Amino acid sequence: MQIALTRKLADAAGIKCVPPMAGADPLFSWTANWTNTFDRRKEDMVILVNSATRFTVSVYGMKRGKLKDLKPVMLSAVRNTLLAMHIDPEVVEEYMRQAGEPVFITNHDRKLTAWLNHQGLDAAFVVADAVNETAGKMKFNDTLGRMVSRRIVNYSGPSAEIFVPAEEMIKALAQRTGKPVFRYKAFELLVALDLEVYSATRRVIVPANIALTQLHDLIQALFNWENRHLHSFTFTDSSGSLPDARLVMSEEDRRYDPEAILETGHRLSGFFPKYREMVYTYDLGDNWEHTVELVREIDECSEESPYLLEASGQAPPEDVGGVPGYLEFLDIMGERKHPEHEQMKAWAGYWTPVLSDWEAKPRFIPV
């Protein structure tokens, strides 16, 4: 593995780089920099960008003192980022084996440096959002680069090709290893939001070991919620009596329910298939209760997920006032002569009463 270090990173880490190796395979070549996540803060993030695919790896929490361990940290981050995409561990290890031991080289490629700067800026936004969502409690993360790699980029070569780095890396791994890239246990879920006059449903395949924090992000995306409010997961036994487990976002939530469990660190496989159903509640004021049903278990999923299979029924707009408020909202929106129609229409913004073709289209949803 050949890693070109910017002068800034090489000097900070005290590394003397060697000249680039002739004929190096671009799939095993990376360019790396040391940058900052937030304005006016000292550098705290290492970014690596793959030369063949523009696939990005980010390591947040890399203060100067940690740069002495740069080589093992980088290797671990590449491995962990690929595994976080649920790529078959055998494929990941084969890539790492073929890549070999890292060699740090001087950086002279302007195009790769431009890629690095662009991806580094995107990574700063992604990591900053994650830090803010955890109220600053996230001190280290080496897998969020996968989210940056989901963004469309425009290659500035002669063909002006537009591509998604993560997709290019997946293709390259399949070609290089000759193995299926994905092989993992998955669940098919049916998520339903009962709105009295109809039910908004989403059928989706997810990795069995998806983190509950990621499942929260997924449900937010599926129903176009804006992640403004508190949420919880509740698992109840078949009798439907008192909940066996209620998982919440933070310690502050536990002040109102001391028996609740923090969702961080828990995965869906820790509850399904022991339970066949749970309730995801969003916005404890409007009290949107989504029933999440385990439809089937998939022993070996060979496709990337989370993957939306089908969707029906539009979700309500944020802060509409729960089901009663939504029913009133629908009445006003459906009656053009209603005195509050124009005001309500302006408040609703881009909300539409039916799902767009894109919203209902089967597709991969990154979380």
| List of domains in the chain | 2-177 (no CATH), 184-364 (3.10.290.30)
**What is the per-residue pLDDT across 68-93, written as a single tens digit (0 to 9) for each?**
999 999 999 999 999 999 999 999 99
Contact by Cβ (8 Å): 230, 291: no
CA distance 114 to 322: 47
Per-residue pLDDT, averaged over 248-259, amounts to 87
Of 149, 131, 129, give the one whose Cα is nearest residue 56. Answer: 149
pLDDT digits 0-9 by tens, 3-25: 999 999 999 999 999 999 888 99
In the predicted model, what is the mean pLDDT of the chain? 93
Q: How many CB atoms lie within 10 A of CB 267?
A: 17
Question: 274-310 pLDDT, tens per residue?
Answer: 999 999 999 999 999 999 999 999 999 999 999 999 9
Q: Where are the alpha helices (DSSP H) in the chain?
A: 7-13, 70-84, 89-99, 110-133, 145-148, 165-177, 212-222, 251-254, 322-333, 341-348, 357-360
Instruction: Count CA atoms within 13 Å of residue 15 on its CB side.
Output: 27
Q: What is the pLDDT of residue 337?
A: 94
Q: Which of 170, 187, 195 is nearest to 300 (CA)?
A: 187
Cα 13 to chain centroid, rounded: 30
Q: Give the tens place of pLDDT for each residue, 195-253.
A: 999 999 999 999 999 999 999 999 999 999 999 999 999 998 766 666 789 999 888 88
- The model's pLDDT over 33-46, given as tens digits with 9 standing for 90+, comes to 999 987 657 889 99
Q: Is the pLDDT of residue 157 over 80?
A: no
**Would you place residue 116 in the very low, low, confident or very high pLDDT band (cuts 50, 70, 90)?**
very high
pTM: 0.89
- Whether pLDDT at 158 is above 90: no
Pairing of strands 2-5, 261-262: unpaired
Q: How far apart are CA 286 and CA 267, in angstroms?
A: 26
pLDDT at residue 283, rounded to an integer: 96
Q: How far, in Å, CA of 15 to CA of 11, rounded?
A: 6
